[in-house]
Chain A
Amino acid sequence: MIIESSVINEQNKIIKIARNHKIQTAIESISYDENGNFLLMFHNGYCLTSNIAKENEYEELDDSCLKLFALKIHKNNRPNNYSLMSPQQIKGWLYLRMGLSLQILDKCVHYLTNRYVGSQEMIKIQVIKDAIARFITDFTSIELDLSVNEISIHEISNLHERLTLANKHLLKLCGAHGYIDDGIIATFYVSRLIENIYGGDNLC
């Protein structure tokens, strides 16, 4: 079964935004409903957003790492706070994470190009190329599985997990540079947090 082109277009659009813009912008891009209304996407009581929640029932949680990305987590303190996301929204978070993975790849390549160990450019070192190749292979496999099958919620959960594993191939490539400010490890952390809220077991 082949997925409709409109779905693929939506997927590519979100991936592209997440790859090339701040995470905040990417989250905003999937936070509107079909009528153009901004949504706080609560799931199992929590919401990751760039917006300030106006309702008193929502508690803003303290996460200094998210401040780097101008993001917040809100907790919904109302009883029965379980909210069901639409299939589009569920997939939207996965596409967003895929874009973040490509952003991590781009940052690694940028960092390693024109950087030398002795006389050798780092991007050309075999272990670096090996790590990049492993990421690209895992990423492509996820992309292919998304394109040819009508995937179930359980499968989306697995794809989130596979994406986390794919990201790990890249995590060590920027050394300590990746651990400071909004470097690749902070991006990885936000991506992992998204999986923790909107993917994984939360979907099953």
Chain B
Amino acid sequence: MLSSDLFALENTMGEIANDFRDIALEIDKNSNSIYNHLDLDGINILANLLIPEKYNDNPLVLNGKKFYGVTVLERVIALEKLSYGDVGVVLASPGPSLSGQVILDMGNEIQQEYYFNRFNRQKTWTFFALTEPNRGSDASNIESYLVRQSHDLILNGEKKFIGNGKRAQVGLVFTRTNKGPLGIRSVLIDPKNKGFYAEKLETLGLKGAELSHLIFKDVHIDSTNVLGEHLSPTRRGLWGAIQTFNKMRPGVAALALGVAQATMDYIVEQKKVFNAIDNHNLSKLKEELLSVRNMVRYAACEVDQDATKGYIASMAKVKSIELVEKITEYAVYILGPNSLIEHPLLNKWYRDARAFEFMEGTTNIQNVNISQSYLAGRMNHV
């Protein structure tokens, strides 16, 4: 059961999401048109979500309570509702997004100030670069590398499938400084740096995200932009990063859940007349939706309390992806012949739904995480 504050957040986001729905197809057709809608309330909220109180001049205020989106539970509630409006608009919007969580967890005070203060000055797009062309999202096998050459740090390598990589004004890159899990580090990077190249990729859906291919050729990185120097060696490496990923994963699950709910409501609105079998199927899907929402919110609460409990977040992501793929497929069948042509929103959701699999670790990676957590005795309930 949500508190009255969170319930107010959910309701407000639900109302704001209508604006996103209005421009969903426009953004799908031309992701650059997001620049024409930067005054939307939802975009302004996303532009400041995940900025801590200290740096946030424009928090969302509801019934006198200020929301900064720094808890995972607040974020999953907001993201599900906004994604219900349109996930493409959510991902096309400026804001700290995934990299903000890393800065919160691994940045020192100067880095946080450098990163978060820019959002008060102007709308800022960010990227979070982990996945590599040859290694996918297997963080332990990152190949891009950061080396010291006399007084400078030099970054070389490639990243692929990076949301907003082409249009971001600041980003975060996971790279290698040494062999082994302790040799993974994250660095802040300014795309204006010499040797930074970004190319937008053509994707089937989620056009708003503008997935990009990034190439770093001898990019100079200031040593003050290396995150985690103030942390212990274990916390600044892969172990620390994994805890950050654990906090992000429920957010991806919430995005998928938003699309699933949007599709479900669309079926009911468009189909109108249902036979007994349809009713049976819809009833089961509705139950599944509630069950997945329950799991996503539980996962958010768990990682808010203990960021090492990532296995619930993995379960939530697996279940939400399974659900969004199932519901969009069902919608195409139940709305009948030519539904992918005659229902452009359904067509969009069908394409978008196939992208969640690749965000923040594939189902296979999540399943490995779940089974390893069980075998390591980290689950008390099984």
Contact = CB atoms under 8 A, between A and B. Distances in A.
Contact of B201 (A45, A180, A188): A180
Given A171-B354, A176-B161, A179-B355, A202 B338 contact: yes
Interface string B189-204: 0000000000001111
A196 B341 contact: yes
B141 interface: yes
Contacts of B138: 117
A1 interface: no
B141 A118 contact: yes
Interface residues of B, number: 34
A172 B357 contact: yes
Interface string B336-354: 1111110000010011001
B183 interface: no
Interface in A12-58: 44-46
Given A176-B131, A176-B160, A200 B333 contact: yes
Contacts of B339: 196
Nearest to A125: B364
Interface string B130-158: 01001011100100000000000000000
B358 interface: yes
Contacts of B203: 179-180
Interface stretch (A3-11, A61-69, A102-110, A143-151): A61-69
Overall SS of chain B's interface: mixed
A158 B106 CA distance: 53
Interface residues of A, number: 36
Contacts of B350: 189, 192
Contact of A202 (B201, B337, B351, B355): B337
A45 B338 contact: yes
A164 B332 CA distance: 12
A183 to B, nearest CB: 8
B338 A46 contact: yes
A185 B354 contact: yes
Contacts of A202: 337-338
Contacts of A186: 204
A64 B202 CA distance: 10
A60 interface: no
A65 B141 contact: no
Nearest to B202: A181
B358 A176 contact: yes
B85 to A, nearest CB: 21
Given A117-B138, A176-B131, A189 B351 contact: yes
A115 interface: yes
A62 B13 CA distance: 31
Contacts of B204: 65, 179-180, 183, 185-186, 189
Contacts of A63: 347
A201 interface: yes
A99 B304 CA distance: 48
A197 B201 CA distance: 29
Interface in A93-139: 115, 117-118, 127
Nearest to B336: A201
Interface string A54-89: 000000011111001000010100000000000000
A196 B340 contact: yes
Nearest to B363: A172
B337 A200 contact: yes
Contact of A196 (B160, B201, B332, B362): B332
Contact of B340 (A118, A172, A175, A192): A192
13 contacts: A44-B337, A45-B338, A115-B134, A161-B333, A171-B354, A176-B358, A179-B203, A179-B204, A179-B211, A180-B202, A181-B201, A192-B350, A197-B337
Interface of B: 29, 131, 134, 136-138, 141, 160-161, 201-205, 211, 329, 332-333, 336-341, 347, 350-351, 354-355, 357-358, 362-364
Given A180-B203, A201-B333, 15 more contacts: A44-B337, A44-B338, A46-B338, A61-B341, A65-B204, A127-B364, A172-B362, A175-B137, A176-B136, A179-B355, A185-B204, A193-B340, A196-B338, A197-B338, A202-B337
